[in-house]
Amino acid sequence: MHPGLTARGQQGPPGIRATLPLRVAVLCAALAAACADAEPEPPPAPGEPLAGLNTGERGRFLVGRALFERLATADEGLGPLYNGERCSDCHDQPVTGGSGIQRLRVLKATRFEDGRCDLLRAVGGDNIQRRATDLLKEHGMGPEEVPEAATATALMTGPPLLGLGLLEAVPEAVLEEWADPDDSDGDGISGRLPRLADGRGARFGRKGDASTVADFVDTALRFELGFTTHLHPEEEPRNGTPVPPEADPMADPEIDARTLGQITDFVRFLAPPAPEQELSAAARDTVERGKALFSQIGCTSCHREELRTGESATAALAGRTLRPYSDVLLHDLGEELADVCGADAAPGELRTAPLWGLRHRARLLHDGRAADIDGAVAAHGGEAESAREAFRSLPEEARLAVIRFLRSL
């Protein structure tokens, strides 16, 4: 190369030519140091949207949240049979979109006979609507009652919705790959993915009741708030008896496709709860020890640490690794936790509850019966009996480490 030319063949002053490589090297080193010292971006706080949403997606999230929190009235189609007056009545702990225990619990009733579940649809369905509008009462009807045919009832807490869209984005093939309904490997764990009548896998709901976030939202609007939707435009009957048309003057459907989509997008785009961020060195050591023990005693056979999402039209949901500590499958947890059945679930079968965000929950288990982790573990039986006994057999310090780990989630 000619001594007066740069690499691009341009004439340049010798001083610049001589120092350019050094200056570039110094600049690269400075940038690398700055990147190394930069604080990683903190995860979204509970109730906030997923990172990476575009402007339109964030807008739908915000509109959906406003609808989710909005107090509904009978003039707008609430009821005439209902349980809550807004979605957040069941999902407000610690934030909108979380779990629910403070305001109300949902009463369920089913009949289980000869190994078959009857959701009692002929007499109003398994969701007992315990409130009625004044207009319905004026027409001689009150809230629903538990049907005489029911063999079991249960008071269900509102499940946390944080991260639900990510769980929806996990391919069904992944869940089926983990399922072992016949316990073919002989490890005592026989999780399975329940199926709806149309054959779709039902990964949502305590008993596996919904296939998608949209299904879940549609069901809640109908049975908890008494709204008709464009998917189900007919009012729910009272214990099987149709309500008088005059008792609900709002034109059906009361929730159109756009509104349903906005509420669904709020739920779908909720960020998952992040584990505890501020830990001392000693606490971090305890949490890591507890995490290892949690796996060693067999809890991760059902509460699997890691899932990965597949393709999605929403970039923020695609190809993400998440740690919900759940396989999203049904497992038989024994007689103590048995109550109502599901469309494809026996009384003792429950979907593995995700443990992320556990530290934000005031009560535990599907019915909120447990005040602490010890109580929740003690209620586990069936496929979880071995892990329960292994937990009980740990020295006290080790048990406390497991609890500290769970309380960091």
Query: Could you report the per-residue pLDDT of 319-356, keeping only the tens digit for each?
Result: 999 999 999 999 999 999 999 999 999 999 999 999 99
pLDDT at 390 exceeding the cut of 90:
yes
pLDDT at 18 exceeding the cut of 50:
no
pLDDT at 206 exceeding the cut of 60:
yes
**Are the C-beta atoms of residues 338 and 369 closer than 8 Å to each other?**
no
Quote the radius of gyration of the chain (alpha carbons, Å): 26
**Are the C-beta atoms of residues 350 and 398 closer than 8 Å to each other?**
no
Supply the pLDDT for residue 239. Answer: 97
Residue 3: cis peptide before it, omega within 30 degrees of 0 = no
Q: Which residue has the tokens 């406390």?
A: 400
Length, in residues, of the chain: 409
* 208-232 pLDDT, tens digit each: 999 999 999 999 999 999 999 999 9
Reported as half-sphere exposure (CB side, CA atoms, 13 A), residue 342 has a value of 24
Residue from 351, 360, 213 nearest 274 by CA: 360
Name residues whose C-beta falls within 8 Å of residue 202's C-beta, 6 or more positions apart in sequence.
193, 194, 195, 196, 208, 209, 210, 211, 343, 344
Calculate mean pLDDT across residues 299-318: 97
Local structure of residue 230 (DSSP, 8 states): S
**Are the C-beta atoms of residues 239 and 147 closer than 8 Å to each other?**
yes
* 56-115 pLDDT, tens digit each: 999 999 999 999 999 999 999 999 999 999 999 999 999 999 998 756 789 999 999 999
**Are the C-beta atoms of residues 136 and 79 closer than 8 Å to each other?**
yes
Which of 37-51, 57-71, 148-162, 377-391 shows the lowest per-residue confidence on average (mean pLDDT)?
Answer: 37-51
Supply the pLDDT for residue 39. Answer: 60
pLDDT at 1 exceeding the cut of 80:
no
Supply the pLDDT for residue 81. Answer: 98
Supply the pLDDT for residue 26. Answer: 39
Supply the pLDDT for residue 274. Answer: 96
Calculate mean pLDDT across residues 399-409: 98
Structure confidence at residue 249 as a pLDDT band (50, 70, 90):
confident
Distance, CA of 168 to CA of 174 (rounded, Å): 12
pLDDT at 170 exceeding the cut of 90:
yes
Residue 13 neighbours by CB distance under 10 Å: 8
Residue 163 neighbours by CB distance under 10 Å: 21
Local structure of residue 345 (DSSP, 8 states): B
Supply the pLDDT for residue 38. Answer: 53
- CA 62 to chain centroid, in Å, comes to 19
**Are the C-beta atoms of residues 320 and 350 closer than 8 Å to each other?**
no
Backbone angles phi and psi of 276, in degrees to 5: -55, 130
Q: What kind and span of H or E run contains 118?
A: strand 116-118
- pLDDT > 70 fraction of the chain, expressed in percent and rounded: 89
Calculate mean pLDDT across residues 136-147: 97
Structure confidence at residue 303 as a pLDDT band (50, 70, 90):
very high
Structure confidence at residue 23 as a pLDDT band (50, 70, 90):
very low
CA dihedral over 283, 370, 90, 335, signed as positive or negative: positive
> Bridge partners of 332?
349
> 4 or 73, which is more confident?
73
Q: What kind and span of H or E run contains 404?
A: helix 396-406
> Bridge partners of 351?
330
